[in-house]
Amino acid sequence: MATIERPTAEMKGMYRDVLRDREGRVVWDRGWCRNAIVLDCHRLIAGLLGGPVASAGIQGLLVGQGLDAWDNAGPPPATPAQKALVDPKPFLLKAGTPAFKIDFLEGGTVTGNPTNRLQIVATFGPNVPPWPDPVTGHASGNLREFGLVGKLGGKDMLINYVTHPVIVKDPASTLTRTIWLIL
């Protein structure tokens, strides 16, 4: 009978949201919270390590409006089975732009050397995401969910997923979302 190996450490993720007004003053800071590492993250890592499948890693951060009903009942918990955001037309803040930064962490310090910890800092500045947005059809900046998205073999895949109480982001404010992934 085959033995199933168990990793010595579980993959996990955390995030922190900080909203600033037009003058750069902190409106609120939610502190550090857990997010769900989804099953497709494991496929993405295997694809990167396996080599023959064309892959491109982290592509950006999707943010969506989720459902208005979550404001009354509370957002549903994120689960590892999540494959996409609930919002059918989320906004993508793309990797490779000044507003999206990926670093390796050694402990809590940024390092140039590869480690098992990543820090992603996504900054949604004024008018990002735009609204009203003719592409998504969104009339407001009410955000209730997010997910890092990667690409494997030409297919987009979620890496992690979070639902949270509504963030009302007005056109002048800046939302900074910091994500830590421990792999």
- Its pTM stands at 0.86
Tokens of 30: 């939610």
Q: Band of the pLDDT at 138, cuts 50, 70, 90?
A: confident
- Whether 43 is in a domain gets the answer yes
The single-letter DSSP state of residue 46 is H
- Whether 90 is in a domain gets the answer yes
| Total domains present in the chain | 1
- Residues 147-181: pLDDT tens digits? 999 887 788 889 999 999 999 999 999 999 999 99
Query: Which of 128, 138, 139, 133 minimizes the C-alpha distance to 171?
Result: 128
Tokens of 83: 């494959």
- Whether 119 is in a domain gets the answer yes
- Whether 3 is in a domain gets the answer no
Helix ranges (H only) for the chain are 39-50, 70-73
Q: Radius of gyration over alpha carbons of the chain, in Å?
A: 17
CA distances 178 to 31, 102, 112, 153, 174, Å, are: 10, 10, 18, 27, 13
Its domain, for residue 45, covers 12-182
- Whether 29 is in a domain gets the answer yes
Whether residue 134 has a cis bond before it, omega within 30° of 0:
no
Average pLDDT over residues 104-126: 91
- Whether 18 is in a domain gets the answer yes
C-alpha angle 47-51-54 in degrees, rounded to nearest 5: 70
- Residues 33-85: pLDDT tens digits? 998 888 777 667 766 656 555 556 789 999 999 999 999 999 999 988 999 99
